[in-house]
Amino acid sequence: MHAHSRTLNFILIAAAVALAAFPLAGSTFYTQLITKIMIMAIFAMSLDLLVGYTGLVSFGHAAFFGLAGYALALMVPKYEAASLWWTLPAAMAVCAAFALVTGALVLRTRGIFFIMVTLAFAQMVFFVFHDTKLGGGSDGIYIYNKPHLKLGEATLLDLEKLDHFYYLVLALLVVAFLVLRRMLGSTFGHALVGIKVNEHRMRALGFPAFRYKLAAYVVSGALAGMAGYLAAVQFGFVNPEIISWHQSGAVLMMVILGGMGTLYGPMIGAFAFVLMQELFSNQAWFGAYAKHWQLAMGITIILVALYLPQGLAGLLQKVGRKKEAAAEPDHD
């Protein structure tokens, strides 16, 4: 186990280094693509905290993602760029507050009911932005000026610049991962896993299960908000589609595809999901069929459900374990 987690750390650090070096070699197109993937990785990781660790299958996670995007769009002044200093924390705070209020209600339910109530709240947010003029209706709002990060007069980060934005997203991805891992390694994290396995027992042991779940829900919502903020910055506009149930479904797919309850699994899932989309819609390779890329996507998802219950991360672990076993025949 110990050797295994050391190998894992090594791989994760190597991956981070590779990502840091990527913009030096990659074209603009691929740098933007990887940026998008890393944003989705943050989003998927935030959901893993609920699905994989706490056993709360949320089918409405796009609500936080979209809410933060709209929060940014509404905070950006019309003719100048907003400051990253306060708009990012503010957007995340909006999501945390929304998670606190809705979490207090949805956490009363469990199982399939939880899946459906989270969906219901996401749909409510969707319709607020879709049907009222608050966020420009179904057309959405453009974000003409991307935020910047200034210290005094010096501009530290200008998110109009691709590489600045890329490294900000990478840094936030690493920070989010480390914070979550730290959190999950603490008593709080073990209590969450305990709640997933047997909530009654945890309550009998004196853990305030409801408050723990609510805390996880709020942290997860705020992190999803961070991803939504970054996505809004990247696309330069927000519209209700980012809150649609398809978005909630897609991020759930990333978590399961990658392997839930591992944190790095959902990151792999985000990479695999977005890259598959790119691959199957590649006209040079699939010609006229590229238009029907969702067919290949759907078949892949079905095959994963049938044959890869632990997701891609489970597959990697299996390969890793086999190698370890081959290297040390006495290993138990």
Partner 1 sequence: MDFAFFLIQLLNGLQYGLLLFLVASGLTLIFGIMGIINLAHGSFYMVGAYLAWSLAGMTGSLSAAILLGVVLTVLLGVALEWLLIRHFYDRDHLYQVLLTYGLILVFEEMRSVIWGDDVHGVPVPALLAHSIPLTENLSYPVYRLVISGVCLLLALAMYFLIARTRLGMMIRAGSSNRDMVQSLGINIKLIYTLVFALGVALAAFAGMINAPLASVFPNMGGGVLIICFVVVVIGGIGSVKGAMAASLLIGLAETFGQVIEIEVAGFKVLPELSGMIVYVLMAAVLVWRPEGLFRKL
210/214 Cα distance (integer angstroms):
6
User: Is 112 near partner 1 (CB under 8 A)?
Assistant: yes
Which residue from 15, 16, 20, 120 is in contact with partner 1, where contact means CB under 8 A? 120
Nearest in space to 160 (alpha carbons), one of 172, 148, 169: 148
Tell whether the torsion through CA atoms of 101, 105, 106 and 107 is positive or negative: positive
Q: Minimum CB separation from partner 1 for residue 119, in Å?
A: 7
Cβ atoms within 10 Å, residue 277: 15
- Residue 155 — φ and ψ, nearest 5°? -90, 115
The one among 17, 302, 319, 325 contacting partner 1 by CB under 8 A? 302
The whole-angstrom separation of Cα 37 and Cα 43 is 10
Applying CB under 8 A, among 108, 161, 211, 323 the residue interacting with partner 1 is 108
CB of 130 to partner 1, least distance (A): 7
The position carrying tokens 């969707």 is: 126
Q: Does 185 bind partner 1 (CB under 8 A)?
A: no
Interface stretch with partner 1, choices 25-33, 112-120, 184-192, 223-231 (CB under 8 A):
112-120
- Per the CB < 8 A criterion, the answer to whether 99 and 64 are in contact is yes
- For partner 1, the closer of residues 111 and 236 by Cβ is 111
Q: How far is the CB of 329 from partner 1 (least distance, A)?
A: 34
- Minimal distance in Å, beta carbon 120 to partner 1? 4
Phi/psi for 319 (5° steps) reads -60, -45
Q: Is 145 in the site for partner 1 (CB under 8 A)?
A: no
Q: Where on the phi/psi map is residue 287: left (φ > 0), alpha (ψ -120 to 50), or beta?
A: left
Report 245-284 residues binding partner 1 (CB under 8 A). 245-246, 249, 252-253, 256-257, 260
Give least dist CB 297 to partner 1, A.
5
Question: Is residue 38 within 8 Å of residue 19, measured between CB atoms?
Answer: yes
Q: Do 64 and 95 contact (CB within 8 A), yes or no?
A: yes
Binding site for partner 1 (CB under 8 A): 51, 57, 59, 105, 108-113, 115-117, 119-121, 123-124, 126-128, 130-132, 245-246, 249, 252-253, 256-257, 260, 291-292, 294-295, 297-302, 304-306, 309
